Amino acid sequence: MDVQLLLLIIGLILAFITAINIGGNDAANPTCAPVGAGVLTIKRGLIIFALFTILGASLQGYMVMKTIGSGIVASIDVVGAISIVVCANIWILFATLRGMAISTGHSIVSAVIGYGIAAYGFQGLSLSTLGSIGLSWIASPFCSLVVAILIFKMIKHIAERYSGNPLGLERYMKYLLILSLCFAAYSFGANDVSHATGVYFKIAGTIANISDQAAMVLLSIYGAVGLVLGGLTIGKKVIATLAYKVTRLDIPTALAASLSNAVVVYAFATIPFLLIGYGLPISSSYASVGAIIGAGLANNTRSVSRSSILKLTSFWILTVPINILLCIVLYNVLHLFF
């Protein structure tokens, strides 16, 4: 068997494992709000998550995949792709087992940066793409925080207008919260599937002799299965962290957080793609946490746990340097043998 084909097969197996780890860590982002508000059990939330994540990844996953696979560096070889995936896997699994909602996207992007430095030097990195990604990293949690505050105020205004029928209003909000989970899971699939399989679309397309578009669609479906499997098997611990430990969620607060998360993640995946041809791989975890904090702050009766936020942000800060350094080391080691 050709060595490149063998390495691709190994890499795709590792990518599926990555998708499982990403699903395990990030399934919390769409599901935590309705679970925290008591509208859905974790099991039912994960079933809805599974259906709409596959749909979002299959229909729009290619938008961000292009950025991961060829936006940061001109191309990624098979050894580099394996190095990226292994490094990200190590960090994502470590954080997931500790119940920490990190950015799986930042893990992958940081590993790609490490590969680019090792393979091409700093001059091989696209500074414009990195600048756009870096801006989105900073902007996404603040955007979701602000949007959550605005949505909560809108919900509160509507609740005051229809205060004569509180039970009916609460029932409608529960339905809206479930619909927002569907939208958030769809957005998650469109954004996050690229984190698992995006580094392979150029390689797979070349070896299989198919177009880049066909390779991206097939890899999106393949990765989506892994995302769902991870969410269903190892996702409960992180869901519990976001659902119960950041702030107490009632139905209006949860609805504001869930809608904000869905809108922000979807916007960053689609609008930049339509404008510049590259969807921005933001952290759905950062957007989710930002939305929960924003909704909690807007609802003055809900306190926000500073200790939980401090733990989360410490893992966020460590994500970038750890993955860059790990990938530089691993790529140089593997390159001695392949």
* DSSP one-letter string for 89-138: HHHHHHHHHTT----HHHHHHHHHHHHHHHHH-GGGS-HHHHHHHHHHHH
Alpha-carbon distance of 338 to 335, in angstroms, equals: 5
Q: How confident is the model at residue 137 (pLDDT cuts 50, 70, 90)?
A: confident
Q: Which amino acid is at 276?
A: I
Which pLDDT score is estimated for 134?
81
**β-strand partners of 304:** 247
Angle 146-149-153 from CA coordinates, rounded to 5°: 145
Angle 39-43-47 from CA coordinates, rounded to 5°: 95
Which pLDDT score is estimated for 131?
84
- 11-20, 141-150, 287-296, 302-311: the lowest-pLDDT one: 302-311
Helix axis angle, 201-208 to 3-26, nearest 10°: 140
Both tokens of residue 138? 């900073």
Alpha-carbon distance of 100 to 80, in angstroms, equals: 27
> Mean of the per-residue pLDDT values for the chain?
87
Task: Read off the pLDDT of residues 147-184 as tens digits, 9 standing for 90 and up.
Answer: 999 999 999 988 888 877 877 888 899 999 999 999 99
Which pLDDT score is estimated for 304?
67
Which pLDDT score is estimated for 260?
96
Both tokens of residue 184? 């958030």
Alpha-carbon distance of 273 to 191, in angstroms, equals: 11
Q: Is 125 left (phi over 0), alpha (psi -120 to 50) or beta?
A: beta
Which pLDDT score is estimated for 254?
92
**Is residue 87 scored above 70 in pLDDT?**
yes
Q: Which amino acid is at 203?
A: I
Alpha-carbon distance of 180 to 254, in angstroms, equals: 10
Q: How confident is the model at residue 140 (pLDDT cuts 50, 70, 90)?
A: confident
Reduce the DSSP state of residue 336 to 3 states and report it: coil
Alpha-carbon distance of 30 to 35, in angstroms, equals: 10
Which pLDDT score is estimated for 276?
82
Task: Read off the pLDDT of residues 59-82 as tens digits, 9 standing for 90 and up.
Answer: 998 888 877 766 788 888 888 988
Which pLDDT score is estimated for 55?
95
More confident residue, 196 or 173: 173
Task: Yes or no: say if 291 and 36 are a contact pair by the CB < 8 Å rule.
Answer: no
- 187-196, 206-215, 265-274: the lowest-pLDDT one: 206-215
Task: Yes or no: say if 25 and 102 are a contact pair by the CB < 8 Å rule.
Answer: yes
pTM above 0.75, yes or no: yes
C-alpha dihedral (209, 328, 126, 10), degrees to nearest 10: 20
Extents of the domains making up the chain: 3-329
CA 308 to chain centre: 20
Residue 138's CB: how many other CB atoms inside 10 A?
11
Closest by CA position to 177, among listed 252, 80, 97: 252
Which pLDDT score is estimated for 281?
75
Task: Yes or no: say if 323 and 110 are a contact pair by the CB < 8 Å rule.
Answer: yes
Task: Read off the pLDDT of residues 301-311 as tens digits, 9 standing for 90 and up.
Answer: 556 677 877 88
Task: Read off the pLDDT of residues 211-241 as tens digits, 9 standing for 90 and up.
Answer: 888 888 899 999 999 999 999 999 888 898 8
> 299-328 burial, b for 16+ CB within 10 Å, e for fewer?
beebeebeebbebbeebbeebbebbbebbb
Please give the biggest Cα pair distance in the chain: 73
Which pLDDT score is estimated for 167?
79
Q: Tell me what the mean pLDDT of segment 11-28 comes to.
A: 89
Q: Tell me what the mean pLDDT of segment 315-334 comes to.
A: 93
Q: Is 298 exposed, middle or buried (0-12, 13-18, 19+ CB in 10 A)?
A: buried
Which pLDDT score is estimated for 37?
92
- What does the chain come to in residues? 338
Q: Tell me what the mean pLDDT of segment 83-112 comes to.
A: 87
